[in-house]
A and B are shown apart, each in its own frame.
Chain A
């Protein structure tokens, strides 16, 4: 009995370690690449460790490409995404969970159904809507003449500002909170908005944290939509900016790996600190459908 238990343990550690190496090795390999001088990056047979640690690749990454700008843009877009989704998501999530109003069920069902619609079908129309946004970017009142909100950060922020997922997620959480607070606050003459803002919202901190991290990660990592609507180089995000290290089939691997490490690092650091919230979010997205 003891023997088979030990054998099981051994097999477990062998398989798990092998998979763990596969999962983590790409990160370690890029990290090592990013601190090597060029001559050691391109070497056969490969050299695992740098003879001296150099930060030249990082300096090069920031000098050859306006990478600091891209970092700022990505951070700004991700933070704005978090802000609006938490605000609008909790506002409507609260209304759907706690308030009675005409059309509540129908509107909520429609919002939920929209989660099933794949993004690709609205990709082109959303682009046209942004292009024809009235009175924006040189457009007249009928949305003609200019380029609307295209090439503007709002083109990324607005379409994702009140995701159905955020609404659904917050509603589920508000449903778990008791109605009694609301009832007694009403008797005390508290306004509906203050009941939401001062009484219930502070109770949803764990949900807000989970949703916030989920939204930040999605915003920071998003690629296709910013690629479509942001054409101006000064508006590029880090994910688009990474392409800038490939010039005419010549790839500057050193600086590119340095840049990749810089992009991955904040998310991994966030993950290490706030694992629980990441896992909660992943779990919820599994339950949702």
Chain B
């Protein structure tokens, strides 16, 4: 520690004496900096900057990888208007989001409240609630594919115990969408639980102490202190969840292949089909642009919320 002090004293006297030398020293420092960021920057330009430019350009062309690119002006965007499947996927994802986001918030908040209770064994519950989050969407979907199997799956077998004939979950449109939503919830609530836990820990304990002195029950404390204090977290979680929901692909691909009759097909799934199965890369780029604008609107809202929160 003492040595450090001497060094810094030494340095300040040094830099005072040799002002002109400082610029060459900075040049050396910046050369090292450019060397250190070079790999990141090169990859960033090749796989991010150029592709973003291309994404806009491509949406004005017809391109199938094999034959050469053809400029078609606004044709792709005109085609978007009549693309019944695209709008259906937007509707599907809209319906999904409508159910998914509120459920996500209610459940992850409930989980966070549960695992911040001062009871024995909460760490074990915390572990159990978080575990699905570490698995992949594909593996989770495969597991649920079997759980939801109409004949031998656990869900329908359990239902038959209580005399209910469960539906063919993944091949009827309503239950199929419900399945996709349920699996996505199962997979994601743990992550948001962690974020809510951080929020709960940030609430000043005096508030609860004051409430207890006033004789408020724990349920009332939850309604009048915990929920309102977590509003910023809730806004953050909801916009992040919407942005995530707009880009769902894996679950729909594995669980239902978008069926039956495209009723669970998602936007990204449709873009994937157009671009990589039908090789209409120009048109798929136009579709992707529409989705991107939608996502960026929510990102902007998210950003605005976070900034007003800081003030």
B-contacting residues of A (Cβ < 8 Å)? 8-9, 12-13, 15-16, 19-20, 22-27, 29-30, 33, 41-46, 87-89, 91-92, 94-96, 99-102, 104, 107, 111, 114, 116-129, 131, 158-159, 161-162, 164, 167, 180, 183-184, 187, 191-193, 196, 217, 220-224, 228, 239, 242-243, 251, 253, 256-257, 260, 263-264, 267-268, 270-271, 275, 278-279, 282-283, 285-286, 289
Contacts and interface: CB of A to CB of B under 8 A. Distances in A.
Nearest to A90: B36
A167 B40 contact: yes
Contacts of A123: 271-272, 275, 288
Interface residues of B, number: 104
Given A27-B143, A124-B275, A260-B142, A221 B135 contact: yes
Contacts of A24: 128, 131
Given A45-B160, A88-B39, A122-B52, A221 B4 contact: no
A222 to B, nearest CB: 8
A125 B114 contact: no
B157 A44 contact: yes
Contacts of A222: 136
Contacts of A159: 43, 47
Chain A facing B: main interface SS? helix
Contacts of A279: 130, 194
A100 B26 contact: yes
B132 A23 contact: yes
Interface of B: 3-4, 7-8, 10-11, 14, 26, 28-30, 32-37, 39-41, 43-44, 46-48, 50-52, 54-55, 58, 63, 65, 111, 114-115, 117, 119, 121-122, 124-125, 127-140, 142-147, 149, 151-152, 154, 157, 160-161, 186, 190-191, 194-195, 198, 218, 236-237, 240, 243, 246-247, 249-250, 253-254, 268, 271-272, 275-276, 281, 284-285, 288-289, 291-292, 295-296, 299, 302-303, 306
17 contacts: A26-B132, A26-B140, A29-B146, A88-B39, A91-B39, A95-B36, A101-B33, A118-B243, A118-B292, A121-B288, A161-B39, A180-B7, A192-B29, A224-B268, A257-B146, A263-B136, A282-B191
A94 B147 CA distance: 47
Contact of A125 (B29, B50, B272): B50
Given A129-B51, A184-B4, A289-B236, A116 B299 contact: yes
Given A12-B114, A162-B44, A196 B136 contact: no
A72 to B, nearest CB: 17
A42 B243 contact: no
Contact of A131 (B65, B122, B127, B139): B65
A124 to B, nearest CB: 5
A31 B34 CA distance: 51
B217 to A, nearest CB: 8
B269 to A, nearest CB: 10
